[in-house]
Chain A
């Protein structure tokens, strides 16, 4: 709070933020458009196309050259993509910009996770394939059916609650060596989009899960538990591994740390089926050109609004947003590197102190990596010295055993993102009167029901169930229309990135 006011003082503006979530959000956007009354700034999320169509956003093309911090946020190619969606620049994407160097220490995306105690028990082996992963879990579970505290260990869990079920359906794309395009895999040569539910890797993967389920490695409750129950299981320290995106269970990991169960926290692994395939779990932060923060026609002072955003990106303000005040929240050494004293670190671990003293707000245009003009990380937790100092003994032991510096080193580094990446953002604007729109809903419906079914089937019935699943899938989902729409979008984005 205090920091928000200080920043406000510095740039002479303050924003009041209102959240809209879930179904209500979409409805609220519809009402906003119909009524023609908007707040100054809006990030309409998947309602963005409607907002643009309604003429709710002020086109920014003629303005941004005057605001260097905003202008420099994106490359020419990225601006082209943002512009291409609607012909003009109507909004500023808020996430996915890296300045200077990629500094992430923690993998935030999807991976197969494994508890540190399991790796330690096995003597820190290299795990690269799906089979090795499950063999390790199976062996550990056999040797340690219970933890020292007498709780029954759970081999593997997947969260399937509502929209969170993506971790159940999307691993085939990673196992086959594709990045998280979601909704489809894209061939970089032919630029063709293809569903990943029918590729050979999908069947291999779910057959493996079926085998593991029948062996009792997979939690029998996995397909019926809700999100809270999932977090509860992880927080109890019993779950040896799961496939998920980190942010989904980060709260549970924090809980484990606060209970002193650091050896039950997780390490990410980028598994493949064929060891010759290069995995692409780790993705560079990417700009989603389909969404962003727009300035609405109700805003009386467009220049003031842009100045406000520009000021927020100023190095001085960025430091204040993330590090705080020099001498209070952090110190600077003779080489210009930022660090925190023990007391300052303690303050930042105290949630109460943080809520009262820090501007913990990340939802205006920002960037990560290094603060411009300095060698310091934007996020204190990504400053290498700060990161290393924050680690516990087991953390250091694991990293040293593998010769890594940070958790992201467990994953294969990747090249730049492709211009169409991630293709899942295309689905936002699909409507119910297009075959691809219906196909997308049907696809979810079929997978939500059938994937748990094939995994839970008795092993000798797997083949039959899989055949049936595939039959239903092909009957219900208009794959052709779906793939065609995505392929067109891939090609459009590739062209647009070139500025055509």
Chain B
């Protein structure tokens, strides 16, 4: 910025200013030769494997047919994007996606962090390890198994949830949880909690190990209770990790997936269960349209980038750990 300014204002003299800046730069470059050399392969690698294939994004502007070569494809301009936004359902599926992602994000973050913090307070090594091991196991179950169990547990006829609610007198008729749209988002949220709390807490447990234990000793001397130590030392200690994960996940807010919703949804509640990904499947691949998914992918990518830039700026203003 400054360089441009000085050039336009006084064209011929003052050659020393840019020169000295350049010199500083050059010196910096020299001093960082090793870091630059070390990072060079990483730059080449990511460009080759992640950016070169993005040529494929041209698909979004074509009526792509796999049978044809690149130059034989029919170009349709923004047709595929128009298709997405022209459909009144698309706004609805965006709403569903946002709602479910947000609920998932809040619930899984809260539960994973709480689980890691509380598990950290367990003194007995074996109890701690056993609980941790058990808690991450559902990560290995496929969604089809997990949703099957969720449906059994919530069944109005035999489900344990209805039995408990009836026994406690909270309800007098069993609830058919999958017939009423108002439960669906929460069911998906808690299914996610169930499957991923333990797995998600691994990162936080690792982060906790880096906290300086002298802090705890100092706090003990000050007479802090266990809760206060957790709240004032452990939690701030893992805050950078929490922030980084939060920032990354905000970028994924338009990815609520499709498998859970697909497996748990039904006709009665499809107005709340369909996500962007399901919409794309229905109108894309199943109607022989390979381009629609690419168009939706570009749309999601752009939104993601806007979101993480905004979130990153906010994190910066708040003085917290940030992505870049």
Contact = CB atoms under 8 A, between A and B. Distances in A.
Nearest to B270: A449
A498 B313 CA distance: 71
A223 B267 contact: yes
A223 B63 contact: no
Contacts of A229: 151-152, 155
Nearest to B266: A224
A416 interface: no
A225 B151 contact: yes
A452 B176 contact: no
A16 interface: no
Contact of B266 (A161, A220, A430, A431): A161
Interface stretch (B1-9, B107-115, B215-223, B287-295): B287-295
B268 A431 contact: no
Interface in B244-273: 262-263, 266-268, 270-271
Interface residues of A, number: 41
A133 B64 CA distance: 51
B66 A54 contact: yes
Interface string B158-193: 000000000000000000111100000000000000
B66 to A, nearest CB: 4
A432 B289 contact: yes
Nearest to B264: A226
A448 B273 CA distance: 13
Contact of A26 (B270, B286, B292): B286
Interface string A400-442: 0000000000000000000000000000011111000110010
A472 B287 CA distance: 22
Interface string B68-87: 00000000000100010000
A432 B287 contact: yes
Nearest to B154: A224
Interface in A213-227: 220-221, 223-226
A50 B67 CA distance: 7
Given A54-B67, A225-B151, A226-B148, A448 B282 contact: no
B11 to A, nearest CB: 54
B268 to A, nearest CB: 5
A429 B63 CA distance: 15
A224 B176 contact: yes
Interface in A432-467: 432-433, 437-438, 441, 445, 447-453, 456
Interface in B103-145: none
Nearest to A53: B67
A224 B66 contact: no
Contact of A452 (B155, B268, B287, B288): B268
B287 A55 contact: no
B151 A445 contact: no
Contacts of A221: 155-157, 176
Contact of A432 (B83, B147, B267): B83
B194 interface: no
Interface stretch (A27-35, A72-80, A272-280): A27-35
Contacts of B65: 50, 53
A432 B268 contact: no
Contacts of B177: 224
Contacts of A50: 65-67, 288
- Secondary structure at chain B's binding surface: helix, strand, loop or mixed? helix
Given A221-B176, A452-B268, A432 B292 contact: yes
A23 interface: yes
Nearest to A226: B151
A224 B287 contact: no
A400 to B, nearest CB: 37
A157 to B, nearest CB: 12
Contacts of A366: none
A336 B83 CA distance: 64
A432 B284 CA distance: 7
Among the interface residues B83, B282, B288, which one has the most CB atoms of the partner chain A within 10 A? B288
Interface in A144-191: 160-162, 165
Interface in A360-406: none
B55 to A, nearest CB: 13
B24 interface: no
Contacts of B66: 30-31, 33-34, 50, 54
A292 B192 CA distance: 41
Given A30-B66, A34-B66, A53-B67, A453 B287 contact: no
Contacts of B263: 226
Nearest to A49: B288
A224 B67 contact: no
A23 B266 contact: no
Given A26-B285, A431-B289, A432-B283, A160 B151 contact: no
Nearest to A431: B288
A348 to B, nearest CB: 31
B270 A448 contact: yes
A62 interface: no
Contacts of B281: 23
Contacts of B67: 33, 50, 53-55
A93 to B, nearest CB: 21
A448 B157 contact: no
Given A33-B67, A432-B289, A451-B267, A223 B83 contact: no
Among the interface residues A26, A50, A226, A456, which one has the most CB atoms of the partner chain B within 10 A? A226
A161 B270 CA distance: 12
B267 A449 contact: yes
A431 B63 CA distance: 11
A161 B267 CA distance: 8
A498 B288 CA distance: 30
A-B complex: 10 closest residue pairs judged by Cβ atoms: A54-B67, A448-B267, A224-B178, A33-B66, A432-B287, A432-B289, A34-B66, A53-B67, A30-B66, A431-B288
16 contacts: A23-B285, A27-B285, A54-B67, A228-B148, A431-B287, A431-B289, A432-B83, A432-B283, A432-B284, A438-B283, A438-B287, A441-B282, A445-B270, A445-B282, A452-B266, A456-B268
Given A30-B285, A30-B290, A53-B67, 17 more contacts: A49-B288, A50-B65, A50-B66, A165-B267, A221-B156, A430-B287, A431-B287, A432-B283, A432-B287, A432-B288, A433-B63, A441-B283, A445-B270, A447-B267, A450-B267, A452-B266, A453-B268
